[in-house]
Amino acid sequence: MKIVLVIDQFDDSNNGTTVTARRFAGQLRRRGHEVVILAGGAPCEGKICAPVHRIPVFQKLIESQGMCFAKPDEEAYYTAFKDADIVHFYMPFRFCRRGEELARQMGIPTVAAFHVQPENITSSIFLGKNRRVNDFLYWWFYKVFYNRFDHIHCPSAFIARQLESHGYGAKLWVISNGVADAFRPAQVPRAPELEGRFTILMIGRLSGEKRQDLIIEAAKRSKYADRLQLVFAGKGPKEKAYRKLAAGLAHPPVFGFYGQDELRRLINMCDLYVHASDAEIEGISCMEALACGLVPVISDSPLSATGQFALCAESLFRAGDADDLARRIDYWVEHPEEKRAYAEQYALRQDENRVEACVARAEEMYASAIRDKRRKGYRKVPLSRWRRCTSPSCEAIRRNFCQGGTVRTLLFWLFTTLLSPILWLLDRLWLGARIEGRENLDAVQGGAVSIMNHVHPLDCTMAKVALFPYRLWFISLASNLQKPFTGWLIRFCGGVPLPDDIHGMAALERGMEARIRGGAFVHFYPEGMLVPYHEGLRAFHPGAFTTAVRAGCPVVPMMLCRRPARGLWAWRKKPCFTLRIGAPLYADASLPKKQAARDLQLRAEAAMLALERGETPPLAVGEPALEAE
């Protein structure tokens, strides 16, 4: 399979989500899959880069949490998604939300993962225990992202229960993020600074919800405070505060960020692992420590899944209680033999969570998602009240288009005709638009199918002006007409939304053929999705050419070409456009209809590429000869 992993950040292994994505990618490749990473940051093999999105005011806070956000980029999405079997989205933010929309346009099956626990966000703004705020974020994540998926990856049974309780209506796949095979017990010489000390480790971002402050307080209250050495593996905004808090300890804590090999060695040097986090979807860092045979003491917070790994009561402490944590630390200091016995059990238990086994389970999820997409399509997403109020009704547009009606059609044509001069002025002044080859339209007798590359949000207005005064209808994705306010502009230009069911598509095809026979143009974007300012042509869908063959009409190729912004348009940072219209192309009447549509598509592609080069494509030979069905 070709699998695309979409994640905002992939370069730095400074958070659990990125670590998980990197391990999944590596294991999937070892299992023979082609894996493409779509993320922000620096380029590397197997990765398509998107720009990094910087957020004013909050950027410093975001970076302090070891995060960055990627900016949506249609060219990057198209390059990554082309020929993909499935796309796996990791986060519910803007980059993944836009990616899901385009994957849907391209007809690619999708799955999502739930890696962003609301409490991780709210703790950074001191609202981590505010249930209303956290419930709102669960609702908002579902409303804007997760309600579009039939399959959601949950790293733990705990987070699956959370999603169920918040109304997430999808199949929830409980699949651990997995532990890398490198994390195993090993005899490692102790660093000199750790010699003779009982070393306690915690791995994780230095932020409020991870509660490193609790470990410092517990160390101060321990009977063995003079023997304890704390090691915090991670970085984050709380480091300065924690250094100050630890001022009274006999041995100052060690703070540092470690790569995988260094971290594995460090774990095997330590005596005890403490996981004090109040909120945790799974706790990959704790799993790594356990896999190396380090006995844990874990918070029993109801918002953390990590407590599931405890094998005995002494490996749990009351969440937020420094005294109880100190008692647990003291217990393990006093019982070294019991600790050694449990160390072996903890290491063996984590063999069940190795990355290889988890990725095998993920393959089952991918296969199920692909089957469901083929069988029943995408999950339908209800429109928000805002979109219903600010966009036209797709059902009403399709109904009116398919039913026809002379008076309504004439009124609509009159309205859009009056709109054309305004659109031409907009295109000319804002985009520096030019039109070449209008004389080729003189050869069209009656209606036709027109086609054009899709490289600008306003290219429908250019097509409308170029084909004036013909009656023109655009075949568009329903999502385009559902955009607030913009949907009305597309509607007024003649936009007709594609249905998402077979019966609706059959009715639309009959409506298109009737309109063409009545002398109208039906306009297609055979590339499908919009990729702004894309050079050349992308793969075509066959719908436009099948319609032309069925209706017995020509195809009019048009190519929107870029040119440098000069003269009056020198202020533009992006190129201006020239719309070139080619001669009409007719289907080969000697071929069966399916082959005729394919042949027509290939000739149309060649004609559009010739128009892009500024050449005159070969003139069409013959007249329409196929009888309409």
- Name, in order, each residue with C-beta under 8 angstroms of 76's C-beta and a sequence gap of 6 or more: 38, 48, 49, 50
Residues 333 and 372 in one domain: no
Q: What is the CATH number of the domain that holds 410?
A: 3.40.1130
Q: Are 413 and 468 in contact (CB under 8 A)?
A: no
Half-sphere exposure for 463 (CA within 13 Å, toward CB)? 32
Residues 12 and 156 in one domain: yes
Tell me the pLDDT band of 627, cut-offs 50, 70 and 90.
very low
Tell me which DSSP letter residue 501 carries: S
Residues 196 and 338 in one domain: yes
Mean pLDDT of 263-289: 95
- Please name which of 191, 339, 345 lies closest in space to residue 272, comparing C-alpha atoms: 339
Residues 262 and 316 in one domain: yes
Mean pLDDT of 59-85: 84
Model pLDDT for residues 181-199, shown as the tens digit of each residue: 999 999 999 998 899 999 9
Examine residue 389 and state whether it is found in any structural domain, yes or no: yes
Buried b / exposed e along 285-318 (16+ C-beta atoms within 10 A): bbbbbbbbbbbbbbbbbebbbbbebbeeebbbbe
CA angle 284, 290, 291 (to 5 degrees): 90
Q: What is the CATH number of the domain that holds 291?
A: 3.40.50.2000
Report the number of distinct structural domains present in the chain.
Answer: 3
Examine residue 499 and state whether it is found in any structural domain, yes or no: yes
- Name, in order, each residue with C-beta under 8 angstroms of 146's C-beta and a sequence gap of 6 or more: 92, 112, 114, 152, 163, 168, 170
Examine residue 619 and state whether it is found in any structural domain, yes or no: no
Mean pLDDT of the chain: 90
- Classify burial at 442, counting beta carbons within 10 Å of its beta carbon; exposed 0-12, middle 13-18, buried 19 or more: exposed
Q: Which of 97-101, 326-330, 416-420, 604-608 has the lowest mean pLDDT?
A: 416-420
Residues 171 and 52 in one domain: yes
Tell me the pLDDT band of 381, cut-offs 50, 70 and 90.
confident
- Name, in order, each residue with C-beta under 8 angstroms of 354's C-beta and a sequence gap of 6 or more: 178, 179, 181
Helix, strand, coil share (%) of the chain residues, nearest 5: 45, 15, 35
Residue 202, pLDDT above cutoff 50? yes
Mean pLDDT of 305-324: 96
Q: Would the CA dihedral through 246, 250, 256, 262 be positive or negative?
A: negative
Residues 372 and 308 in one domain: no
Give me the pLDDT at residue 212, please. 96
Residues 551 and 418 in one domain: yes
Supply 448's token pair. Answer: 């036709």
Residues 372 and 489 in one domain: no
Percentage of the chain exceeding pLDDT 90: 70
Tell me the pLDDT band of 408, cut-offs 50, 70 and 90.
low
Give me the pLDDT at residue 626, please. 44
Examine residue 621 and state whether it is found in any structural domain, yes or no: no
Residues 266 and 360 in one domain: no
Give me the pLDDT at residue 402, please. 79
Supply 364's token pair. Answer: 């089952």
Q: Are 197 and 183 in contact (CB under 8 A)?
A: no
Residue 620, pLDDT above cutoff 60? no
**Please, which residues bridge with residue 523 across strands?**
450, 474
Give me the pLDDT at residue 625, please. 44
Examine residue 436 and state whether it is found in any structural domain, yes or no: yes
Examine residue 26 and state whether it is found in any structural domain, yes or no: yes
How far is the C-alpha of 134 from the C-alpha of 119, rounded, in Å?
6
Residues 491 and 407 in one domain: yes
Q: Which of 127-131, 392-396, 531-535, 570-574 has the lowest mean pLDDT?
A: 127-131
Residues 127 and 58 in one domain: yes
To which H or E segment does residue 576 belong? strand 576-581
Which position has the higher pLDDT, 331 or 625? 331
Mean pLDDT of 518-546: 93
Examine residue 186 and state whether it is found in any structural domain, yes or no: no
Examine residue 77 and state whether it is found in any structural domain, yes or no: yes
Give me the pLDDT at residue 53, please. 85
How far is the C-alpha of 560 from the C-alpha of 611, rounded, in Å?
9
Q: What CA–CA distances, in Å, run from 615 to 161, 582, 600? A: 62, 10, 19
DSSP labels, 199-261: EEEEES--SGGG-HHHHHHHHHHSTTTTTEEEEEE---TTHHHHHHHGGGSSSPPEEE---HH
3-class secondary structure, 132: helix
Residues 104 and 251 in one domain: no
Name the residue range of residue 37's domain.
2-178+356-376
Give me the pLDDT at residue 273, please. 97
Give me the pLDDT at residue 524, please. 96
Q: Would the CA dihedral through 157, 281, 358, 269 be positive or negative?
A: negative
